[in-house]
Amino acid sequence: MTVSPIVLLTDFGYKDGYAGVLKGVILGVNPHARILDLSHGIPPQDLVRASFLLTSSVSYFPRSSIFLVVVDPGVGTSRKPLLVKAGEYFFIGPDNGVLSAAVKQLGNARIFQLNHPEYFLDSVSFTFHGRDIFAPVAGHLSLGVSPQELGEPCTGMESLDIPRPVKTDQGLDLRILFVDTFGNLILNLTEEQFSQWKRSGCCIHIQGKKRTYKIQTICSSSKVAAPGVVLVIRRRGMLPQLTPQVAF
Amino acid sequence: MTVSPIVLLTDFGYKDGYAGVLKGVILGVNPHARILDLSHGIPPQDLVRASFLLTSSVSYFPRSSIFLVVVDPGVGTSRKPLLVKAGEYFFIGPDNGVLSAAVKQLGNARIFQLNHPEYFLDSVSFTFHGRDIFAPVAGHLSLGVSPQELGEPCTGMESLDIPRPVKTDQGLDLRILFVDTFGNLILNLTEEQFSQWKRSGCCIHIQGKKRTYKIQTICSSSKVAAPGVVLVIRRRGMLPQLTPQVAF
Amino acid sequence: MTVSPIVLLTDFGYKDGYAGVLKGVILGVNPHARILDLSHGIPPQDLVRASFLLTSSVSYFPRSSIFLVVVDPGVGTSRKPLLVKAGEYFFIGPDNGVLSAAVKQLGNARIFQLNHPEYFLDSVSFTFHGRDIFAPVAGHLSLGVSPQELGEPCTGMESLDIPRPVKTDQGLDLRILFVDTFGNLILNLTEEQFSQWKRSGCCIHIQGKKRTYKIQTICSSSKVAAPGVVLVIRRRGMLPQLTPQVAF
């Protein structure tokens, strides 16, 4: 039998060992757990970036994968701890909107509030629910404990408020959601909006610190839900300069 | 049968592949080894930080876990290579104090000097004992080779000299051991000292670069041995400012 | 039976989840795959650094390991996707020279161009062949699909143009290929050149930003192929100063 992988996505960084501790807790519950790092490099508390990364990655993982998503600025407040089944995947994390785009994309969501402390660590802190609640629940889920045993069905979950493109006299006013390792710019533009843009033949300008860049071509990452158009701009060499590049 | 996990804690960083090489060596000895990263982001040669991270994390890992701790500024000198059993855990690393706080916390220590080169790599360099000595020994231990076969019992080990709080007319003079990814400050204050401080009702000031911050409340990480009180202060957004926060 | 480990080496960094997605794809093909991170911290598109890291690490991994090397500035162009067997190891990646030094060191190379799209993901993008071509091929190879089934034999592969030492009136003019996490300088000096240098008793100067450093002793990493002499210089504490150190 194949064990469902547990996929970790956090803003814990790589200096402090917090992500390592999650793995220790999971193994303590399920010694045969299969644990994968999606990323621990989300900027602290950056829900938009985590949401985008999750949404654009989930379909590349095997069905029944368990995504443990801990970007949790509200830890210690009344925000709910959730387990969600959507499509063929499971998601565990705080109810702060970070899960909503991926869940909406997959559809067929069943939402559970984690309120059975017998599946938590014995002592639950106010500051580290990833370790004390979410990781042990992921371990138990991977052992075959059902969502119904781990929590109580509930309806609705928080969703993120991601800025939408604004139509102006000059065209679309876009936001750069973030810049990736390679210098690619991730924009708040949907696939549909992108298709319209291509048809209408208009152009995009990027307002840089020193000058405005006219972008010739953008590309869209095929599997990415809204928002998620990727503008391919690579910093070449050490030049502090952006170079547009044709792609896709 | 469950394999004991081998948990890696180093200052190797993520650029150079040194941590990856440890894993290759371990798998070469035990193809079924279970390898986990605790962290490779310890600042180079920062024994205090590695010691704190190890001490505060160890109890979250399954019993019989093997901690491979390589923060080793004295590599190539006469410092001893050690294997320590303490509590239900194993520790492998240099005798430079990095293991002492965790071992002391767990108690019941049995210390072995690694002096059986038949369990090392064939060629041992002067500069990378993590790869040539510690990793293969961890692999053999995970295969079931006993500590007695891997080394020779010895008494005593180095311990770290961590600055203690100093009483002054104004109260306690504390040190910030380090600042974590989230901006939390880790102080050289023990649980007991923290409890006394709470009872006596005195206050803490943090001497910042530009001004002094008066701290209203601090929190203590429940499982952390001395030193290890965590002062929760989060940098919010991009403001170069510290904001006290109630926690725990 | 032992599964051949799949060892990942990329310039994907740790922020974006690209490396995590590779793992998801591999597990989707082979749920029992054994996946190890060598490094994802290669500076973007730095072929020389990736080549050096691969060459100096490969012999520490078990035979039959599958190295998935994705540093791919030419993705989307006509550069070929390759599978190479050399020595007892397998390498999968773009034909841009990044594999050549390791393959040359191991010898006995058999090169295959990956041109069987039935082993790729259904949809292949122009910008992420690591995910769409190389990762699924690595998964299939680890399942036992033969190189002949995965690609077509071909002759020759690209090699990297690494700057060689230049003889001048003052001695050898060397380049620093990169500086590692610990401040060690990696030079473009071969083992043989290093041996000659030691015999001839000449000395090395490092041209720093503010002054010239005369280096007393250098060391060579025992298993490293050309180029690969390591000059051990450690930055001590916070001083902006280089200190030569005897090693090896």
Distance CA B172, CA B167 (A): 5
Distance CA C221, CA C241 (A): 23
Best mutation site among B42, B181, B238, B248 for testing chain A: the one with the most A CBs within 10 Å? B181
Residue ranges of the alpha helices (H) in chain B? 18-29, 47-57, 100-106, 129, 135-143, 147-150, 191-200
Confidence band, pLDDT 50/70/90 cuts, at residue A175:
confident
Tell me whether B131 touches chain C (CB under 8 Å): yes
Tell me whether C232 touches chain B (CB under 8 Å): yes
pLDDT attached to residue B228: 53
pLDDT for B5-64, tens place per residue?
999 999 999 999 999 999 999 999 999 999 999 999 999 889 999 999 999 899 999 999
Q: In degrees rounded to 5, what are phi and psi of residue B219?
A: -130, 160
CA end-to-end span of chain A, whole Å?
39
Q: Which chains border B (3 or more CB–CB pairs < 8 Å)? A: A, C
Distance CA C74, CA C108 (A): 27
More reliable by pLDDT, A236 or C114: C114
pLDDT attached to residue C226: 41
Distance from CA of B194 to the nearest CA of C (A): 30
Amino acid at A214: K
- Cα atoms found within 13 Å of the Cα of residue C159, Cβ hemisphere only: 11
Residue A79 predicted with pLDDT over 60: yes
Check CB contact under 8 Å for C76 and A36: no
- Cα atoms found within 13 Å of the Cα of residue A194, Cβ hemisphere only: 21
Confidence band, pLDDT 50/70/90 cuts, at residue A62:
very high
Residue with tokens 């961890």: B138
How far lies B20's CA from each of A240, B127, B209, C6, in Å? 32, 17, 39, 12
Check CB contact under 8 Å for A181 and C32: no
Cβ–Cβ < 8 Å for A221, A186: no
pLDDT attached to residue B184: 73
pLDDT attached to residue C91: 98
More reliable by pLDDT, C184 or B113: B113
A89 neighbourhood in chain C, CB within 8 Å = none
Distance from CA of C123 to the nearest CA of B (A): 31
Q: Which chains border A (3 or more CB–CB pairs < 8 Å)? A: B, C
Residue A102 predicted with pLDDT over 90: yes
Amino acid at C28: G
Q: Which chains border C (3 or more CB–CB pairs < 8 Å)? A: A, B
pLDDT for B138-161, tens place per residue?
999 999 999 999 999 999 999 998
Tell me whether B25 touches chain C (CB under 8 Å): yes
Q: Per mean pLDDT, which range of A96-105, B174-183, C210-219 is the poorest?
A: C210-219
Residue ranges of the alpha helices (H) in chain A? 18-29, 47-57, 100-106, 129, 135-143, 147-150, 191-200
| High-pLDDT (> 90) share of chain B, % | 56
Amino acid at B119: Y
C14 neighbourhood in chain A, CB within 8 Å = 14, 39-41
CB neighbours of A168 closer than 8 A, spacing ≥ 6? none
Confidence band, pLDDT 50/70/90 cuts, at residue A161:
confident
Tell me whether C53 touches chain B (CB under 8 Å): yes
To the nearest 10°, report the CA torsion of A150, A151, A156, A162: -50
Q: Per mean pLDDT, which range of A129-133, B41-45, B221-225 is the poorest?
A: B221-225
| High-pLDDT (> 70) share of chain C, % | 74
Cβ–Cβ < 8 Å for B194, B228: no
Distance CA A161, CA A110 (A): 22
Confidence band, pLDDT 50/70/90 cuts, at residue A77:
confident
C56 neighbourhood in chain B, CB within 8 Å = 17
Going by C-alpha positions, the residue among A90, A97, A89 that lies closest to residue A71 is A97
Distance CA C25, CA C45 (A): 22
Distance from CA of C6 to the nearest CA of B (A): 11
Tell me whether C37 touches chain B (CB under 8 Å): yes
Residue C187 predicted with pLDDT over 50: yes
pLDDT attached to residue C129: 93
C57 neighbourhood in chain B, CB within 8 Å = 17, 20-21, 24
Tell me whether C237 touches chain A (CB under 8 Å): no
Tell me whether A180 touches chain C (CB under 8 Å): yes
Cβ–Cβ < 8 Å for A15, B181: yes
CA dihedral over A60, A61, A62, A65, signed as positive or negative: negative
Nearest to B126 among C14, C36, C248 (CB): C248
More reliable by pLDDT, A174 or C135: C135
Residue A71 predicted with pLDDT over 90: yes
Residue with tokens 């999968």: C92
Q: Which helix (H) or strand (E) holds B30?
A: none
Tell me whether A90 touches chain B (CB under 8 Å): no
More reliable by pLDDT, C209 or A185: A185
C39 neighbourhood in chain A, CB within 8 Å = none
- Chain A: residue nearest B183 by CA? A44
CB neighbours of C240 closer than 8 A, spacing ≥ 6? none
pLDDT attached to residue A226: 40
Q: In degrees rounded to 5, what are phi and psi of residue B163?
A: -60, 135
C237 neighbourhood in chain B, CB within 8 Å = none
Nearest to B247 among A20, A126, A131 (CB): A126
Q: Would you give the DSSP letter of residue C133? A: I
More reliable by pLDDT, A205 or C63: C63
Looking at every residue in chain A, the average pLDDT score rounds to 81
Other beta carbons within 10 angstroms of residue A226's beta carbon come to: 18
> Which residues in chain A belong to E strands, given as ranges?
5-10, 34-39, 66-70, 81-86, 89-94, 110-113, 152-154, 166-168, 171-173, 176-179, 185-187, 204-207, 212-215, 219-220, 229-231, 233-234, 243-244
